[in-house]
Chain A
């Protein structure tokens, strides 16, 4: 009797489902995912609550240590540190995820053009990525920030300009190999145009590279935003970001006497970074099972 595969069997045979299974079996990756969700839930939901007031000033509690009214204490003008950590996390995540999306778009396009567009396009694209990778990342970040200025949009722009070359190289390497495969040659032979090849063949075959890049790059982008804001560029006050809250600790008084004001965003940043890195390593191992053998 002819066996008709159920949707469940079809899904279970799918490579992504098998990768998901490997991911679920990795304790570190799952711990990272749980920690990330535990961080994301309050950060994304808190600012939507009616009582959220990250900029509200409590004049009766300036530089107050943590207590029942302000769980993580208050800062120098009486703003609740917990509220600002949650609000700051939201801004950091918005900036970082937008920057990752833009750099994925640029990185994929440049990589695809380099691999599929002939030798001149290849040479130009690769020299441009070389150039972008020559300067130390933090130096490039500072130089770009000095031209772009402060604020959310310039910061997103600066961070996305920083990170695309790595992806462009990964995509190019993947597509150079793909280019010679029969199904791509067949698609070309049947008259498939550049967009068709790029969207229907190149993109699906880069999906694992893109997923791992997006995750690990999210950690890098959060770090870049925090670093820029910490140095006084990036997100300007009064908007909260983990970086500009840490910037307060560049004053000796805050560093010495009000550690809750900078330790709170610092620990939030550290936990988020750890969680994302665990998830990213787990994803990379789950999507490339062969790399574990090497």
Chain B
């Protein structure tokens, strides 16, 4: 088990290093000389001044040396400065935006897991019944529908036409922020997020539960006269639930993608919107910083779900 943990942690660490090399490489692939970002076009500079600036910034050194200097700064939390936002440090911008994204994704994934479990159980219990067919058709629709289209339709129907929810943002501008106000702004984007993420869990729970319901111990429980609800919830579901743990980790990448679209439709001030705006403004330090932080987050959550799953089911670590 210890060997398994050590191997997984080392692999994740290596991936993180590789990811940072990739990010740094892409950053240097970008068009334009990085030194030009430091020069005010209104102030003329001599060639010697530019060369001096280049030397001071370390741009005259070799790429591996530049990478090491960048990586050392990145480890200490210095991801450079944005070229917009009045040159704010990238770290401060990301720190400011991480909370709203975690709130949106956390509540959305919670809703999605609950909904996926509920509908998965219903469709497994009523397998091949009309209810199952309706749920299966809805999930096919859900898998095919682009997140941004669902978000636009949700915004159009519930915010514009029905007026049940505010039309975007995280809080009403101009008034002090209250928890209730944020919650009212959160409901619609979180619901859209949950709907688009729910289908996977639902299909998975249905398959796993159907398999468990066919097992001998379920037949034994039924033969003993255990009530049907108790058979489903206590005997079958418990065993079917194990793999659901890994599902959250495995789908996190897709979920992050969904959150980016939802944030930009609902103008939710999170990491996704930050990244999209940075790409629009070609703000490379911010793009790379945000992508690196998101990548590291996904790596760490995947590592944790792997370890958690191995802790629940020791057979995994032995493979």
A interface residues with partner B (beta carbon < 8 Å): 127, 130-131, 134-140, 142-147, 149, 219, 223, 226-227, 230-233, 246, 249-250, 252, 255-256, 259, 262, 266, 269-270, 273-274, 277-278
Residue of B nearest to A132 (CB): B22
Q: Select the residue from B146, B153, B260 with max chain A CB neighbours within 10 A.
A: B146
Query: Is the pair B254, A146 in contact by a Cβ cutoff of 8 Å?
Result: no
Q: With the chains together, A142 CA to B260 CA distance in Å? A: 10
Nearest CB of B to A283, in Å: 16
Contact A231/B276 with A131-B18, A146-B287 known, Cβ cut-off 8 Å: yes
Expressed in whole angstroms, the Cα–Cα distance for A249 and B167 within the complex equals 13
Interface residue tally for chain B (C-beta within 8 Å):
47
Contact across chains for B148 and A230 when beta carbons are under 8 A apart: yes
Within 8 A of A (CB), among B118-169: 140-141, 143-146, 148-149, 152-153, 155-156, 160, 167
CA distance A259 to B160 in the complex (A): 11
Question: Whole-angstrom distance between the alpha carbons of A249 and B276 in the complex?
Answer: 16
Q: With A and B bound together, what is the CA distance between A224 and B155 in angstroms?
A: 22
What's the minimum C-beta distance from B207 to chain A, rounded to whole angstroms?
Answer: 10
A-B pairs with beta carbons under 8 Å apart, 19 shown: A131-B18, A136-B254, A136-B257, A136-B298, A138-B260, A139-B275, A144-B26, A146-B278, A146-B287, A147-B29, A226-B146, A227-B148, A231-B264, A233-B280, A246-B148, A270-B144, A270-B145, A273-B145, A278-B140
Min Cβ gap A134→B in Å is 5
B282, CB-defined interface residue at 8 Å: yes
> Hey, which chain B residues are within 8 Å of A142, CB to CB?
260, 275-276, 279, 287, 291
Interface centre among A127, A136, A149, A232 (most CB of B within 10 A): A136
Are B279's CB and A233's CB within 8 A?
yes
* Closest-CB distance, B21 to chain A (whole angstroms): 9
Given A136-B254, A246-B152, A146 and B144 contact (CB-CB distance below 8 Å): no
In the assembled complex, B310 has its CB within 8 A of some CB on chain A: no
CB distance from A218 to the nearest CB of B (A): 13
Given A134-B19, A139-B260; A277-B144 close (CB under 8 Å) = yes
Task: List B contacts of A274 (CB < 8 A).
Answer: 140-141, 144
Contact A131 B22 (CB under 8 A): yes
Question: What's the least CB distance linking A142 to chain B, in Å?
Answer: 5
Q: Which 4 A-B pairs have the closest CB atoms?
A: A138-B257, A136-B253, A273-B144, A136-B256
Among A134, A223, A262, A270, the most chain B Cβ lie within 10 Å of the Cβ of: A134
B-side contacts of A146, CB under 8 Å = 30, 278-279, 282, 284, 287
Please name 8 further chain A to chain B contacts, defined as beta carbons within 8 Å, in addition to the given A139-B256, A262-B152, sorted by A numbering.
Answer: A135-B298, A136-B253, A223-B146, A231-B280, A246-B149, A255-B156, A269-B146, A270-B145
Contacts A145-B279, A146-B279, A226-B146 known; A277 to B287 CB distance under 8 Å?
no
Contact for B295 among A134, A230, A246, A269, CB less than 8 A:
A134
Contact with A along B249-292 (1 / 0, CB 8 A): 00011101110110011000000000110111010100110010
Please report the C-alpha to C-alpha distance between residue A269 and residue B145 in the assembled complex, in whole angstroms. 8
Asked if B53 is at the interface of the complex by the 8 Å CB criterion, the answer is no
Shortest CB-to-CB span from B195 to chain A, Å, is 14
Known: A135-B291, A246-B152. A127 touches B144 (CB 8 A): no
Bound complex: CA of A246 vs CA of B299, how far in Å? Answer: 32
Whole-angstrom CA separation of A39 from B146 in the bound complex: 18
Confirm or deny: B294 has a beta carbon within 8 angstroms of a beta carbon on chain A: yes
When distances are taken between beta carbons in the complex, the residues of chain A under 8 Å from B149 are: 246, 266, 269-270
Q: Is B15 an interface residue (CB 8 A)?
A: yes
CA distance in complex: A256, B145 (Å) = 21
> Bound complex: CA of A255 vs CA of B168, how far in Å?
13
A274 to chain B, nearest CB (A): 4
Q: How far is the CA of A232 from the CA of B277 in the complex (A)?
A: 10
By a CB distance below 8 angstroms, the chain B residues around A250 are: 264-265
Measured CA separation A256–B168 after assembly (Å): 13
Q: Which residue of A lies closest to B149 (CB)?
A: A266
> Nearest chain-B residue to A273 (Cβ)?
B144
- Known: A146-B287, A246-B149, A270-B146. Is A131-B19 also a contact (CB below 8 A)? yes
A137–B254 Cα distance when bound, in Å, is 7
* CB nearest to A255 among chain B residues: B156
Minimal Cβ-Cβ distance residue in B for A270? B145
- Bound-state CA distance A144–B153 (Å) is 28
Per a CB cutoff under 8 Å, which of B30, B155, B264 touches A147? B30
CB distance from B26 to the nearest CB of A (A): 6
* Docked CA distance A237–B156 (Å): 24
Instruction: Name the residue of chain A whose CB is nearest to the CB of B211.
Output: A294
Contact A255 B15 (CB under 8 A): no
Which A residues are in CB contact (< 8 Å) with B140? 274, 277-278
Q: Please, which residue of chain A has its CB at the minimum distance from the CB of B23?
A: A143
Nearest Cβ distance between residue B295 and chain A, in whole angstroms?
A: 5
In the bound complex, what is the Cα–Cα distance between A259 and B140 (angstroms)?
A: 25
Least CB distance from B230 to A in Å reads 29
Min CB distance B193 to A, Å, is 14
CA distance A69 to B260 in the complex (A): 38
Closest to A143 in B: B291
Shortest distance in angstroms between B191's beta carbon and chain A's nearest beta carbon?
Answer: 18
B146 shortest CB reach to chain A, Å = 6
